[in-house]
Structure 1
Amino acid sequence: MSAPGNLFEGIDAGAREEVFERLVAQSGVLIERIVSTGQASPEGFWYDDPRDEWVVLLAGAAELEFEAQRGTRQRLKPGDHVHIRAHCRHRVAWTDPQAPTVWLAVYFSA
């Protein structure tokens, strides 16, 4: 058993970059905490991961955009979650610049 942690501790609300913290990595599964403080994916950039991703927004607010539905954004609030299939090209279009946006992402084999 590893030491217990808290997903809301140690957050730098003034961070200039998104922070990715690996929480668990084993047997084809990766779980990480992501903290965004107003960051978004660069224009024209699309994530294209070979793994499935399940992500839940724990705090803050964000908007995702999917290449297949370009021009349409999916707004996320705390508690919202989405399953992103492998190679589903997507980007973070916006995160709240006023308060940290905390995500929990789970990556697993497609």
Structure 2
Amino acid sequence: MTDTTNLFEDLPLASMEEDVFVLFERPGVMIERIVSTGQASPPGFWYDQNWTEWVVLLAGAARLRFEDETEDRLFTAGDHILIAPRRRHRVEWTQSEPPTLWLAVHIREEGVGPIIS
């Protein structure tokens, strides 16, 4: 029997860095809980991953920008998106209070390089 945990418990206090905790990892799949408290991607930085990512916002709010779109997207609790490999994106803003809580599922297709957190 495994221990039960709660994604909403033990949220870290405000920090300069996002809190990223790997909940589950197996070959080809990684699930993370990410807590943001006002962080954003550095100017000019784009995520450019070679794997698929499904992300859901569980609490708080955030704005994501996709390089192939002209406007950023507002995400609130319950919003989710499947991000295809190589689709460049960035975090423009995250709500600090209450913290922004994400669940990210990284899926590596066979033959693609490792998932890096």
Q: Identical aligned pairs, as a percentage?
A: 51
| Mapped contact 2:14–2:96 kept (Cα < 8 A) | no
What is the alpha-carbon distance in structure 2 between the residues aligned to residue 15 and residue 98 of structure 1?
Answer: 12
Letter in 2 for 1:53: E
**Per-residue deviation at 1:41?**
0.4
Q: TM-score, normalised by structure 2?
A: 0.88
Paired residues, what number?
Answer: 109
**Per-residue deviation at 1:21?**
0.2
**Per-residue deviation at 1:107?**
0.4
| Mapped contact 1:13–1:99 kept (Cα < 8 A) | no
Match of 2:114 in 1: none
Match of 1:57 in 2: 57
What is the alpha-carbon distance in structure 1 between the residues aligned to residue 35 and residue 44 of structure 2?
Answer: 22
Where does the alignment leave 5 or more consecutive residues of structure 1 unmatched? none
Where does the alignment leave 5 or more consecutive residues of structure 2 unmatched? 110-117
Match of 1:14 in 2: 14
Runs in 1 of length 4+ with deviation above 4 angstroms? none
* SS across alignment from 2:97: coil
